[in-house]
Chain A
Amino acid sequence: MSIDIKTMNVEPKRHTFAHVARRLGSDAPASRYEEGVYDVQATTHFHYRPLWGPELWHFDEGRTAIKMEDWYLFKDPRQYYYGTYTIARANMHQTTERNFAFEEKRDMLANIDPAWREMIVNYLIPLRHFEWGANMNACSISDAGYGTAITSAAIFTAGDRLGIAQILSRIGIVLGSGDGELLDEAKKQWMEADTWQGIRKTVEDSLVLKDWFEALLAQFLVMDGLVYPLVYNHFDTQGQKHGAAALSMLCEFMVDWSTEHNRWVDAVVKVAVKESDENQALLSQWYRDWRDTMVEALSPLASMVLTEGAESAIADVREQLDVRAGKLGLTV
């Protein structure tokens, strides 16, 4: 027997907002991503020129040389709005939390060869500053970008990079006496060691870019696209030989995150490339410039960690990135 609960039949007048319906082509029920993102940014009739830069409005398409007919083509394949974003990250971090607890309970980091432990302080922990640079670029993109599609995803990325910087800081703390002295050592590396200066210079150069899309390409596609596979794949594999299996567990967040991050970055770059030949040419130029700079900057670090394997590892990550960029329509 079926149970029939009596309710009032109430017919809706419309299924979504008019601006969303115009984008979907009909008044069909829309997703929360679509309603929370489409056309939320003001586009016209701004009142005052910014005191901090009167040549453009505070929301202005002119903050990048990339041109788009429709800035909402930058849809996030992950469909993140605030709710889905925070819930996804909370879930991911639960695993990280369990991994830290597991390590600490068994003191597994004590199995790492002392020399390699020193190496971790020199190659991994300074990356918290690289992440902080990425956080700054993500904020810049959220600040200067055009349209809610890009600015919302960018501020989520800013949160991600701060979160990753903090996971790296935690690794530094548990690797040492618990007092954070290794973080100071790692910062000294970042500031002074020859191994890091090319990387730090490249990061600092990206922080003064005036074009937010160039910052996006430089940071998210090129710098991340080289650093993540080099560090969390090649360096990590090398670590296995030195008893650092426990470290891989603590870096799991970054590996998972990077796969997800790349999906978003690829979607954004692909759309911009496809828009016009002018965009394609400019993005390709940026790509080549930043790739060459960053490949060179990473070589000393790779040599320090991998010694004789460095050259092939660098060639490998460069090759992988070129293949990926080629698929996005860039001329590499």
Chain B
Amino acid sequence: MTPPRKKKLNLKKRYELMTRGLDWETSYQKMDDVFPYDTFEGIKITDWSKWEDPFRLTMDAYWKYQGEKERKLYAVLDSFAQNNGQLGISDARYVNAIKLFLTGVTPLEYQAHRHFAHLGRHIRGVGPRVAAQMQSLDELRHAQTQIHTISHYNKYFDGFSEFPHMHDRVWYLSVPKSFFDDACSAGPFEFFTAISFAFEYVLTNLLFVPFMSGAAYNGDLATVTFGFSAQSDEARHMTLGIEVIKFMLEQHPDNLPIVQKWVDKWFWRGHKMLGLVAMMMDYMLPKRIMSWKEAWEIYFTEAGGALFEDLSRYGLRVPKYADIATDEAEHISHQNWAIFYQYTQAAGFHTWLPSDEEMAWLSEKYPNTFDKYYRPRFEMWREMEAKGERFYNNALPQLCQTCQIPMGYTEPGDPTKIGFRSTEYAGERYHFCSDGCKDIFENEPEKFSQAWLPVHQIFQGNCGGADLGDVLKWYHMDNGIDNMDYTGSPDQKQWDAWQSARKRVAG
């Protein structure tokens, strides 16, 4: 007897059976009690079944692909450690870029793991819920593989060792931390818009590509391998981001103004936070990939332009102040590096002034602004250094209430004038670096007035004491080791010793 012929399911149908049918309409408990968080933002979803699964990945396939990638990645990391891969980087100044990454970005990957678990539990539709769960796993992967990759650098360089402690306390790390706290304290649809769309889809190329390409250009084989390994995860995350936006816009016309407001907000939040990446690209990489301005043109102006043109059929427009952000791409890296140079005594990585060669590169990449506004400042600081009068700014800076960056940015159209904005809320005055940051505050004053501003906290005596030494201790920053200029740092001394030992070996 021949066995009955079984039907062969197509991939879409099979995935639907394996996943979609798992959930049910609860009746012993109200659905609104099982899913208490997915309605308060006002986003209207009329039919969850309209969700198109962008990647039909069952768990067994997920384990298989991801396990395979992990095997390969850890083989490279082991080999990197065994062969002292840190000796092969372009220059030890490069390591400061990954210090910024581990202290600023890695803890955010962990936050993303947690909040995608939140979405993976609390979004009513089973399709996006499963996608969020896989992203929660992926984000945990990224946090852990970054720690494991950078673990080797921690053994040989300073500034890495206290990364979670620093992330919760250090003044400039409150910029990325508050960005993610903002997203996690928002409702689930705003989080999707903030992280999956604005960040992962619109801006990710401006974070991920610069760091990973920077690693490739500077001989950091461990980090670049992590980057390649994470690429296919990122592709899934981007797809989820665009699907969520389209889904919200397709489900109900009332969703458009809400989504637009979030897109405006998170574009501006992202733009300000990425200023740290801009500075990394233009000043911290011994071997440069491209300028921040070039990256902005390719990844935001061109790619983002095409994206928003595509989304215009839903009524979504280019984020508010995108033109201002594009103007600022001429300035933001120079202004940020100048801030860190002035406050090197309180930075958890090393700073330096650009060399002649590097300044020539900056002139070439920024013909409209570098020679006119920024070169003179760096040259003046260089002269001061030569006279033994290295400039330190010993006054604590005023911080923007929204982005938390020191108020060192200039007015749109006038790079000689610092921009200030302020507004009153509940009898207090709040200060901002820009119209974009002020608008965000004014839309949610109750939320943003709560911000834990590092400078205010120092003045209130909540950060270990009143003088720099006390605050550094509280940060777990070793004075003279983790902070200050690269020149004269233990990192530099060790690197130079390695270089001369290698020369001796080479004869």
Contacts and interface: CB of A to CB of B under 8 A. Distances in A.
B298 interface: no
B22 A207 contact: no
A26 interface: no
Interface stretch (B59-67, B205-213, B257-265): B59-67
B382 interface: no
A140 interface: yes
B452 A46 contact: yes
A167 B67 CA distance: 19
Interface in B8-40: 8-9, 13-14, 17-19, 21-24, 26-29, 33-34, 36-37, 40
A37 B17 CA distance: 35
Question: Helix, strand, loop or mixed for chain B's interface?
Answer: helix
A78 interface: no
B162 A17 contact: yes
B145 A41 contact: no
A40 interface: yes
B21 to A, nearest CB: 6
B214 interface: no
Contacts of A7: 84
Given A14-B161, A159-B59, A58 B24 contact: no
A14 B155 contact: yes
B114 A142 contact: yes
A175 to B, nearest CB: 10
A166 B164 contact: no
A304 interface: no
A3 interface: no
A169 B17 contact: yes
A187 interface: yes
Contacts, number: 274
A151 B109 CA distance: 13
A163 B161 contact: no
Given A48-B185, A90-B67, A97-B60, A8 B452 contact: no
Given A19-B165, A42-B168, A143 B118 contact: yes
Interface stretch (A116-124, A128-136, A217-225): A128-136
Contact of B133 (A50, A87, A104, A158): A158
A191 B476 CA distance: 56
A173 interface: yes
Contacts of A190: 24
B143 A40 contact: yes
A82 B501 contact: no
A52 B40 contact: yes
Interface residues of A, number: 89
A97 B61 CA distance: 11
Contacts of B271: none
Interface stretch (B134-142, B307-315, B343-351, B426-434): B134-142
A83 interface: yes
Contacts of B70: 82-83, 86-87
A91 B70 CA distance: 13
B63 A90 contact: yes
A81 interface: yes
A58 B178 CA distance: 12
Contacts of B157: 13
A204 interface: yes
A90 B185 contact: no
Contacts of B21: 169, 180, 183-184, 187
A177 B151 contact: no
B177 interface: yes
A180 B17 contact: yes
B470 to A, nearest CB: 17
A15 interface: yes
B23 A132 contact: yes
B293 interface: no
A223 B136 CA distance: 25
A35 B147 contact: yes
Contacts of B163: 17
Interface string B103-135: 000010011011101101110000000100110
Nearest to B163: A17
B113 A46 contact: no
A69 interface: no
Given A162-B133, A165-B22, A183-B21, A86 B452 contact: no
Contacts of B148: 32, 35-36, 83
Contacts of B34: 204, 207-208
Contact of B498 (A10, A40, A131): A10
Closest 6 CB pairs of A and B: A163-B59, A90-B67, A178-B6, A139-B121, A142-B117, A36-B144
24 contacts: A13-B156, A13-B158, A14-B161, A32-B148, A36-B144, A39-B165, A41-B110, A42-B164, A47-B174, A47-B185, A47-B450, A51-B40, A52-B40, A82-B66, A82-B140, A82-B141, A83-B70, A87-B71, A90-B68, A93-B64, A136-B121, A159-B59, A178-B6, A180-B9
Given A49-B447, A51-B185, A87-B70, 16 more contacts: A19-B164, A43-B168, A47-B181, A47-B182, A48-B182, A58-B181, A139-B117, A139-B136, A142-B114, A148-B110, A151-B113, A155-B117, A159-B62, A166-B18, A180-B21, A204-B29
Interface of A: 6-8, 10, 12-19, 32, 35-37, 39-52, 58-59, 81-83, 86-87, 89-91, 93, 96-97, 104, 107, 110, 128-129, 131-132, 135-136, 139-140, 142-143, 148, 151-152, 154-156, 158-160, 162-163, 165-167, 169-170, 173-174, 177-180, 183-184, 187, 190-191, 200-201, 204-205, 207-208
